[in-house]
Structure 1
Amino acid sequence: MARSKNQNGPSKSQRQLRVGELIRRTLSTVLARADVHDPALNAMSITVAEVRTSSDLKIATVYVMPLGGSGKDEAIEALKRNKGELRRLLGKDLKLKYLPDLRFVIDQTFDQMDATREMLARADVRRDVEKAEDDGPMDGDGA
């Protein structure tokens, strides 16, 4: 049986989702407790929004955002600099055969939401949306 695909490519397995969520929770706890021996990283308040794992669970992409959205580059550099220690701390809490390599990127979700909100607030878009609502529901067959 073929796997179903969503718009973003192949769907994630339950194991990928579960491991990603375990890493997210554990990493959030480690960062909140300031367990890392780096004063610069401990001084930052970083939100771990999501963790996506590769299909073989060898790579985990960690989507982060510093509190307030400022200092993004510094946060990524501090996380990359302490990647080894973060993996070691994760390994103490997670019982996985292989601990994934961590890759840190800035979470763009809030920026995308703001852009969408701004677009929907534009007069021409609002006019089109109101016109579509006045026309009633669209038929699926185009009739």
Structure 2
Amino acid sequence: MRRSTTRRSSRMADEIMRELGRIIVQEVQDPRLELLTITGVRMNKDFSIAEVLYTHYNGQSSELEDSLQKARGFMRTTLGKNLRLRYVPDLRFTWDSFVEEMVYDGKS
């Protein structure tokens, strides 16, 4: 994925990140996603893909990934309605290992 570094993509990524956080807290009914944290969103050059970086209190698990994939369509639909986007980007969830790397590197 070729990432965009424009100001427009940065604003769009911030809006998507805030709205996804709100959707997960207020609208998604899956208890496995309760302690999920959206740490960032990266847009590609043509805004067709939003790479959503996330962490979870209990760590990375296949069960968490499955629940995100199941809720992806709902989140994408709700995102399009709330942000009034003509084209809603495809949401791709990626585990954010930055925090873990910082913690483990700090102990050395």
1:26/1:96 Cα in 2 relative to 1: closer, same or farther (>3 Å)?
A: same
Residues 1:90 and 2:79 are matched in the alignment: yes
Which has the higher Rg, Structure 1 or Structure 2? 1
8 Å CA contact retained: 2:47, 2:89: yes
- Structure 2's unaligned 5+ residue stretches are none
Equivalence map 1:46-61=2 (5 Å):
46-61=36-51
Structure-to-structure mapping, 1:1-143, within 5 angstroms:
12-33=5-26, 35-36=27-28, 38-41=29-32, 44-66=34-56, 68-70=57-59, 72-119=61-108
Q: Give the aligned length.
A: 107
* TM-score normalised by structure 1 residue count: 0.67
Q: Which amino acid aligns with 1:114?
A: V
Inter-partner Cα distance in structure 2 for 1:78 and 1:11: 28
- AA of the residue aligned to 2:48: K
Which 5+ residue runs of structure 1 have no aligned equivalent?
1-8, 120-143
Structure possessing the higher relative contact order (Cα contacts under 8 Å, 6 or more residues apart): 2
What is the TM-score with the length of structure 2 in the denominator? 0.86
RMSD (CA atoms): 2.0
* DSSP-derived class of the 1:69 partner: coil
Shift of 1:11: 6.4
Q: CA deviation at 1:97?
A: 2.3
Instruction: Give the letter for the 1:54 counterpart.
Output: N
